């Protein structure tokens, strides 16, 4: 059973400042990317279903990132809504 990310609240997202990617929760694959400069953007990470092979011979599914907009231009609820619509298409 896959792990489910804890849902973050708007205040928690506003306070994130350390560079990296953070699971937001609410929709599988929805991430908030914080850059070194402090800018934040929404990303939807999904698997394409395309099977590939690594250099060591292990198989894996190709993964893609889809940008959903920058924070705070796109708020938390709007990012979740956009991610949900992209996942269902």
Q: What is the pLDDT of residues 18-51, one digit of tens each?
A: 999 999 988 889 999 999 999 999 999 988 888 9
DSSP helix/strand/coil, 84: helix
Two structure tokens written together for 37 = 């400069």
Residue 4 lies in a domain: no
Residue 48 lies in a domain: yes
Residue 77 has pLDDT above 60, yes or no: yes
* Global pTM value: 0.83
Residue 5 lies in a domain: no
Confidence label for 87 from pLDDT (cuts 50, 70 and 90) = confident
Backbone dihedral region of 38: left (phi > 0), alpha (psi from -120 to 50 degrees) or beta?
left
Tally of structural domains, the chain: 1
Instruction: State the residue range of the domain holding 31.
Output: 10-88
Residue 3 lies in a domain: no
Residue 74 sits in a domain whose CATH number is 3.30.160.390
Two structure tokens written together for 18 = 């350390």
Nearest to 19 by CA among 30, 29, 32, 6: 32
Residue 1 lies in a domain: no
């Amino acid at each position: 059973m896959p792990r489910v990310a804890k849902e973050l609240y708007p205040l928690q997202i506003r306070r994130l400042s350390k560079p990296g990617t953070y699971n937001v929760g609410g929709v599988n694959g929805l991430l908030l990317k914080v850059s070194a400069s402090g800018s934040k953007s929404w990303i939807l990470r999904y698997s394409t279903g395309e099977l590939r092979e690594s250099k060591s011979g292990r198989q894996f599914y190709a993964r893609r990132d889809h940008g959903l907009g920058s924070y705070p231009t796109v708020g938390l609820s709007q990012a979740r809504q956009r991610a949900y619509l992209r996942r269902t298409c």
